[in-house]
Amino acid sequence: MKITDVKVYLAPSTDVYVKIETDEGLYGWGEPSVIYMPQSVAGMLKDMRLYLIGQDPERIELIWQSLFRDMFMRGGPSHMAAISGVDMALWDIKGKACGKPVYQLLGGLAHDRLRVYGHVSGKSATEIAANAKELADLGVTMIRYRGFHNWDPIRAFDMDSGVNEQIEYLAAMREAIGPNVDIIVECHGRYDPVWAIKLAQRCEPYRPFFIEDPIRQENTEALRNLRAQSKLPLAAGERYHSRFDFRDVIVNQYLDYVRPDICHCGGISEMKKIAALAETYYIGVVPHNTQGPLAMAACLHAAFTIDNVPVAEAVYANPKNIHPNHYRYCSPWPTVENGYVLPPDGPGLGMEVNEEALIRAEAGFTPRTQPMLRGRDGSVKDW
């Protein structure tokens, strides 16, 4: 079997899909979406096409190594997202060729079902607490929030006010949902370490499951001071792009949970390697995933075969968070029952992709920027 073509589709608002075709009629799909960077990922995939045509799609590890090491300038979000999409598509082909779900080719199920957490938002403590209660009433046993939703439209952020708002929201949510539903405090990398320490210390009475991305990702050594001054578990990793990026935080045990994203970290193959490294330090893997159903499926196939996954992110656990476009592009969405997701069905990734819908969507694609936040003094702040 040989790869004959690599097709790339852009879809609103920032989705990227890649289809790999073969001379035997089999094809596979991947979703290497990186928020607000779709054109650079698509461009990288088009560059990779020259490396892929004529290759045997079943030699997944060889192709992964080639796409990583045969490119002298490597790493970073666009390059690793493109590798991620190719890797997903190759596993999809291999599963279809064998007539088995991808997870069966990765060692089989390590879990009968996986606990998932959903997202809530709100522009006030009252609103976010009500939304959290509604989600908990659906049977979801872990909920993630971040706040700041009233600031993003006006392109503003202030760390002091941010800490106060997150504590206000956390207190309201804990009162609304009670002590038995876990809460994740998502910081989105917005804080300097001194403010992250203040937030963590003030969160302690409300017992969050972990604090996610408390600081920016560039300097992992900055986590050392936060780790020393916080009693709460810490998690990060959605902006790390390979096992090499994860190495320092795992070996130095700066985090309690690492958060590789199947669209960013190098795909299914690389997530398994990151998880194996984390397992040697008894660190949990909580896969990050906020993209569409194709990426969700790829993430689940990997996560179900990884023993040290205690919970997985599932935007789809809250039906309000599913973008209507995603129903048009791919199906089915994973099945969630009582706060747990069930293994995917079908050969390969088990997804049906509507290519005609993607072709129509690409015609209406328009690039956009992420919110560009500024402080009270006009300085740049992280989103």
State the pLDDT at residue 35. Answer: 87
- Domain identity same for 26 and 108: no
- Domain identity same for 256 and 282: yes
Active site residues: 188, 288
Is 367 domain-assigned? no
Distances (CA, A) of 85 to 101, 166, 295: 18, 35, 9
Neighbouring-strand partners of residue 292: none
Rounded CA gap, 233 and 157, in Å?
Answer: 25
Q: Are 250 and 281 in contact (CB under 8 A)?
A: yes
| Residue that has been written with the tokens 């023993």 in this structure | 307
Quick one: CA torsion of 153, 157, 163, 169, rounded to 10 degrees?
A: 0
Is 94 domain-assigned? yes
| Residue that has been written with the tokens 């992110």 in this structure | 313
- Domain of residue 333, residue span: 104-348
Is 163 domain-assigned? yes
Structure tokens at 143: 């909920």
Is 356 domain-assigned? no
Rounded CA gap, 336 and 198, in Å?
Answer: 36
Rounded CA gap, 229 and 291, in Å?
Answer: 33
State the pLDDT at residue 338. Answer: 92
Q: What are the helix and strand counts (H, E) for the chain?
A: 13, 17
CATH code for position 70: 3.30.390.10
- Domain identity same for 108 and 82: no
- Domain identity same for 56 and 160: no
State the pLDDT at residue 320. Answer: 76
- Domain identity same for 114 and 263: yes
CATH code for position 176: 3.20.20.120
- Domain identity same for 74 and 117: no
Among 33, 32, 7, 2, which Cα is nearest to 20's? 7
Q: Are 57 and 20 in contact (CB under 8 A)?
A: yes
> Which sign, positive or negative, has the C-alpha torsion 290, 293, 296, 298?
negative
Rounded CA gap, 352 and 297, in Å?
Answer: 11
Rounded CA gap, 310 and 275, in Å?
Answer: 12
- Domain identity same for 211 and 241: yes
Among 39, 16, 163, 369, which Cα is nearest to 171's? 163
- Domain identity same for 132 and 160: yes
State the pLDDT at residue 298. Answer: 98
User: Which SS3 state, helix, strand or coil, does residue 313 take?
Assistant: strand
| pLDDT, tens digit only, all 383 positions of the chain | 999 999 999 998 889 999 999 999 999 999 999 989 999 999 999 999 999 999 999 999 999 999 999 999 999 999 999 999 999 999 999 999 999 999 999 999 999 999 999 999 999 999 999 999 999 999 999 999 998 888 888 899 999 999 999 999 999 999 999 999 999 999 999 999 999 999 999 999 999 999 999 999 999 999 999 999 999 999 999 999 999 999 999 999 999 999 999 999 999 999 999 999 999 999 999 999 988 889 999 999 999 999 999 999 998 888 777 777 777 899 898 999 999 999 999 999 999 999 999 999 999 899 888 889 999 999 999 98
Rounded CA gap, 286 and 378, in Å?
Answer: 35
Among 78, 79, 60, which Cα is nearest to 68's? 79
Element (H, E) at 11: strand 3-11
Structure tokens at 253: 């045990």
Is 363 domain-assigned? no
For residue 32, give the amino acid letter. Answer: P
Q: How many domains does the chain have?
A: 2
Is 378 domain-assigned? no
Structure tokens at 233: 């578990």
- Domain identity same for 205 and 161: yes
- Domain identity same for 210 and 295: yes
